[in-house]
A and B are shown apart, each in its own frame.
Chain A
């Protein structure tokens, strides 16, 4: 697909008139998808898509067009020419855009991440054979992802990665299930089989009679996936400069210094260790690491290209949300989690989180999958789904008893519009007085 962007850039250079400049951001994918229910294929197919976001600038005026590309020169040339003409006709009628920012001339990068992907149906076969006899529901995605940028001042970035992801649930009955995930660039059928065996083993306890809990406060261990759900809600507006300056961030108390988290809590955006491209849609090269919370206190935030101009700070993000969020580990051994809980709950996953009280940075959501009652350090039974409503300042503040020394990389398997390149690297958390409300 690199050729599509190169062709588009060549054509755009030729189309520019004196005083005009362009930026072109490319997104493409060549992906196979298979959806399963009852360990059988519900829907399977292939998606090939290429898309260009074109910014045209002249005299501080700026407008944007998004259009599909095909890689076929004649077809793309016609589409691009029409787009440029449309934007050119629009620009004189627009006021100057004081917040538009474009990367410096000469900025460039190449990031090619090859992998060892399974064959088109190999992945599906391996998954269904490993789960033979089980009620597996899930989704497989595999293929190539592409991102690129070309600018009229010679800016050039290209990112290309091969990856796969499998995301499944093994059901015992009704809503009693365990969750499994396997994603990466190097396909290893043995690793998949081991993960399926792991989830199969967890399924045994889900067959026990479920416990119905009373609302109240519980001592819990939140597995990394559960921590991710809560941080994902906070991340939606929590770490953006625009949300901070307009006082909309749920972390306002932390930003203002009125609240603090536990000193063990440090959060970074670690682009260099993640799976997303390290440039913005405007062609800015992104820093390898941005500190967001350090030692429990506010340390920094994301500024995308428009915020950088509005608030006069350097660009450090493609958008004002994390794509490669990391939390510093603690010292608790994950194997000791149940013993550390003593009497309480092991929570593997949380689900459908949303802010319930912005001022307190409170998140509500549900337990899902393996939420287990623990008695004297031993998991004994699954728990019926319960609603939680917790302030981050409590959960990762006074309520935090420890973080695990092991961290789990959780790949975002989201596919809205296109396959995500996001990921998290998170420890588990031992928390006291975790509130369950319904």
Chain B
């Protein structure tokens, strides 16, 4: 079992086609994920972890209901058993269905989509990659106050095959690389953590390590952690605030991405992830933010974490504007949610793995660049702050009242950065916050990042989403440090 050895998904698809009976509709989604995790902590090589996760999700429409059966057993008997469970659930849930069955995927689409990877993961062997990590980790132990330090690389090769009763066959493959450096500094009762990644994960091969300039990071990460020990707490005040891409990622995710999910608006998530302050009549007219706010759904950005050709319902993925010049245009909902709600959506029905059904998810949700350089943004602040790299996040179930914390911040006085502050945080209300957007960084300042652990759904699903954003300036934000007072 090595990451270079893909599982043949065509064979179980053939077996399934041979055994599927005449039902109203069916689809089969096969998934194979091979991963490798390498990690060095405190100069000790942690156990190398190789993993494979392979299985099938069978969805059947029969007797007026829809049911699914998922199994890790891809033998004929295993697929047959899962098929029977799916049929049984379809029939039994029909009298209690929330809405009539819709088509299980597109008719006749036959396509293949592959994310580019210039330097394959296997180009460096495991000892070479471990040596790289040992060196990166060693370079973070720059002081006795660094009490924990680690470097890791996670690699995944994902392939899926979606086939359905209408003759569709959609093959997709992605390579994902997630690096992480982490340094913990402590003196007495004060502990500060600084990291690089895992929000830098993305699609591609080993070329990503050069692209991220990983080699330049260890001393900076450790140096920041040490400097934070001596920094004062972030002052508490209402002030102008610049958020760097490492925090904008989370801000976009929690207070634009989740509120725009159509399944939240339709109420599916009200028992778990929550509802939304966005209501159906807002689409097309609601001023979500200032005129500087432009947000796209773009699954075609090369290298971004959640790029794909088709979603897990088989809908072709296309770039769409969600918010244009501050006005809300479109929600995050796949074909099923669009049909239920009558609202415009995007190709974003995604499943975390073979053992979960697709639900509405973010993919690449990007805040488009503006005209300002980072220096312009800083110059535009008389008294304020700048924050980077999320470390704490909390928001209400309607995705309105939020409080976020960052790894580090700086004071800004008279248009200049004037000193590091620790434990920075800020709070606000989504609907007002985005209207206070007063400056958007240009393309040169864009950070292409992501969130690897977005949780949602019942049964629960964890999925990776991409977010690209430049630094952004917000006016009149409630900022605090440490105690949150």
Contacts and interface: CB of A to CB of B under 8 A. Distances in A.
A252 B189 CA distance: 7
B384 interface: no
A41 B92 CA distance: 10
A46 B70 contact: yes
Given A45-B67, A72-B78, A366-B397, A86 B72 contact: no
A124 interface: yes
A175 B50 contact: no
Interface in B230-247: none
A138 B269 CA distance: 8
B267 interface: yes
A49 B49 contact: no
Given A137-B268, A417-B462, A47 B483 contact: no
Contact of B397 (A45, A62, A368): A368
A437 B70 contact: no
B154 to A, nearest CB: 13
A168 B485 CA distance: 35
A163 interface: no
A258 B186 CA distance: 16
B211 interface: no
Interface stretch (A97-105, A187-195, A289-297, A401-409): A97-105
Contacts of A168: 271
A33 B359 CA distance: 15
B59 to A, nearest CB: 8
B51 A357 contact: no
A312 to B, nearest CB: 15
Contact of B184 (A34, A125, A246): A246
B393 interface: yes
A128 B33 CA distance: 37
A419 B68 CA distance: 17
A415 B460 contact: yes
Contacts of A72: 73, 75, 77-78
Interface in B260-310: 266-268, 270-272, 274-275
Contact of A248 (B52, B68, B148, B268): B148
Q: Interface size class for chain A?
A: 35 or more
A201 to B, nearest CB: 19
Contacts of B81: 48
B7 to A, nearest CB: 10
B71 interface: yes
Given A64-B49, A359-B191, A43 B68 contact: yes
B444 interface: no
B315 interface: no
A72 B81 CA distance: 13
A298 interface: no
A124 B82 contact: no
B127 interface: yes
A322 B270 CA distance: 27
Contacts of B44: 97-99
A351 B274 CA distance: 10
Interface stretch (B169-177, B371-379, B398-406): B398-406
Interface in B371-423: 392-398, 401, 403, 405, 423
B427 interface: yes
B216 interface: no
A63 interface: yes
Interface stretch (A87-95, A153-161, A323-331, A424-432): A87-95
A93 B128 CA distance: 10
| Interface majority SS (helix, strand, loop, mixed), chain B | mixed
Contacts of B193: 248
A100 B47 CA distance: 8
Contacts of A40: 96-98
Interface residues of B, number: 88
B2 A86 contact: yes
B93 interface: yes
Contacts of B70: 45-49
Contacts of B89: 32, 34, 44-46, 120
A37 B267 contact: yes
Interface string B435-459: 0000000000000000000010011
Nearest to B187: A247
Interface string A362-392: 1011101000000000000000010101010
A85 B2 CA distance: 10
Interface in B60-106: 65-75, 77-78, 81-82, 85-86, 88-89, 92-93, 96-98
Contact of B50 (A37, A41, A83, A357): A83
A381 to B, nearest CB: 19
A48 B485 CA distance: 49
A70 B78 contact: yes
A68 interface: yes
Interface string A245-278: 0111000110010100000000000000000000
A64 to B, nearest CB: 5
A75 B485 CA distance: 59
B50 A65 contact: yes
Contacts of A87: 50
B255 interface: no
B268 A42 contact: yes
B201 interface: no
B459 A415 contact: yes
Contact of B190 (A246, A359, A365): A359
Given A70-B73, A124-B96, A248 B191 contact: yes
A55 interface: yes
A72 to B, nearest CB: 5
Contacts of B405: 354-356
B394 A75 contact: no
Interface string B90-129: 0011001110000000000000000000000000011100
Q: Which 6 A-B pairs have the closest CB atoms?
A: A45-B68, A415-B459, A139-B458, A46-B85, A247-B186, A66-B51
Given A45-B59, A50-B73, 15 more contacts: A34-B93, A44-B67, A46-B69, A64-B49, A83-B50, A86-B1, A97-B44, A120-B89, A124-B93, A137-B268, A352-B394, A356-B403, A387-B396, A415-B458, A415-B460
Interface of A: 32-38, 40-51, 55, 62-72, 75, 79, 82-83, 85-87, 90, 93-95, 97-100, 120-121, 124-125, 128, 137-139, 141, 167-169, 171, 174-175, 177, 246-248, 252-253, 256, 258, 351-360, 362, 364-366, 368, 385, 387, 389, 391, 414-417, 419, 437-438
23 contacts: A36-B98, A38-B98, A38-B267, A41-B65, A44-B93, A48-B73, A49-B70, A82-B1, A93-B125, A137-B267, A175-B397, A248-B184, A352-B396, A355-B405, A356-B394, A356-B403, A357-B484, A365-B394, A366-B394, A366-B397, A368-B396, A387-B396, A438-B403
